[in-house]
Amino acid sequence: MKILICPDAASARSVAARVLKRQIAKKPSSVLGLATGRTMEAIYQLLVTDHREKNLDFSSVTTFNLDEYVGLDGLHEQSYRYYMDKYLFSQVNIHANRTHIPNGAALDANAEADAYETAITQAGGIDLQLLGLGQNGHIGFNEPLSSQRCRTRAVTLAQITLEQNSEMFGGNQAHVPSRAITMGIATILESHAALLVVTGPAKADIVAQVIEEPVTAMVPGSALQFHPSCLIVLDEDAASSLCGRSTINWQMAHDPELTGLVQDHDD
């Protein structure tokens, strides 16, 4: 695990966007795993700006999103398909048929999940998986109690997730679907590289559990400790409950990948 703590949320988002841009530059036909949520909106905005101003080229990129609500089709404004079209896909030169999000309206959610997992394999696996973190430690929609060996499947959302995501459903928890299709933890751990981005004081305690506590199914994000190539980008607020700052600071100052990411020579 590598940890990069940025002074503020804006610089954390810039670093995250830089990681994605460098991945596309290194391999134009990259398979990107993408995430949704408030944290990601500004990251996608940075990519859109680079596409417009610096010709960041998505024409050969393939994407697989982490998750989708069961019961919502892509035209529903709170679906993750709608979110991705709005914040990224409609604003860059990506081919629509290379963008993949589980079909929340599929009649058989489990069959849809199996087909999604197969499609990821057929695409050659995910080169770089972007991740956010729920306040209960979920990654994708892998809620507490998720096995580290679980794969793409239909899941029941935790009560706290329904509460937190109700903001996007007019503040009414009853309108938030209670089921979702999500990539599994094993699916996420098989990505060649993972990038977890977390900002804000509300997630400080769960970030400390993800990074510094033993791996447990109760904190699904802690499984990232087993990822062979995981970069975690935080702002100071999200990092404020970490105990091991001296270890992290040493790594930040001496690891060439991390020092190189702070430099913005490709921007």
132 or 177, CB closer to ligand GLP? 132
117 is catalytic: no
Q: Counting contacts by CB under 6 A, is residue 37 touching ligand GLP?
A: yes
Residue 215, judged by CB atoms within 10 A of its CB (0-12, 13-18, 19+), counts as: middle
Q: At closest approach, how far in Å is the CB of 38 from ligand GLP? A: 3
Type of residue found at 235: D
Position among 14, 23, 30, 36 found at the interface with ligand GLP (CB under 6 A): 36
Restricted to residues 44-73, the positions that interact with ligand GLP (CB under 6 A) are: 66-67
143 is catalytic: yes
DSSP states along the chain: -EEEEESSHHHHHHHHHHHHHHHHHH-TT-EEEE--SHHHHHHHHHHHHHHHHH----TT-EEEESEEETT--TTSTTSHHHHHHHHTGGGS---GGGEE---TT-S-HHHHHHHHHHHHHHTT--SEEEE---TTS-BTTB-TT--TT--SEEEEPPHHHHHHHGGGGTT-GGGS-SEEEE--HHHHHTSSEEEEEE-SGGGHHHHHHHHHSPPBTTBGGGGGGG-TTEEEEEETTTTTT-S-HHHHHHHHHH-HHHHHHH--TT-
132 or 184, CB closer to ligand GLP? 132
Position among 19, 24, 31, 35 found at the interface with ligand GLP (CB under 6 A): 35
62 or 164, CB closer to ligand GLP? 164
Name the residue among 262, 182, 196, 250 with its Cα closest to residue 227: 196
Residue 62, judged by CB atoms within 10 A of its CB (0-12, 13-18, 19+), counts as: buried
- Distance (Å, rounded) from C-alpha 129 to C-alpha 196? 8
Q: Counting contacts by CB under 6 A, is residue 39 touching ligand GLP?
A: yes
Of the listed 73, 114, 136, 255, which one is catalytic?
136
67 is catalytic: yes
Q: Counting contacts by CB under 6 A, is residue 33 touching ligand GLP?
A: no
Of the listed 67, 68, 117, 235, which one is catalytic?
67
Q: At closest approach, how far in Å is the CB of 221 from ligand GLP? A: 9
Q: At closest approach, how far in Å is the CB of 196 from ligand GLP? A: 9
Q: At closest approach, how far in Å is the CB of 181 from ligand GLP? A: 11
Q: Counting contacts by CB under 6 A, is residue 116 touching ligand GLP?
A: no
Restricted to residues 165-204, the positions that interact with ligand GLP (CB under 6 A) are: 165
190 is catalytic: no
Of the listed 51, 138, 192, 227, which one is catalytic?
138
Restricted to residues 118-157, the positions that interact with ligand GLP (CB under 6 A) are: 132-134, 140-141
99 or 252, CB closer to ligand GLP? 99
42 or 57, CB closer to ligand GLP? 42
> Catalytic amino acids?
67, 136, 138, 143
Residues making contact with ligand GLP (CB under 6 A): 35-39, 66-67, 132-134, 140-141, 161, 165
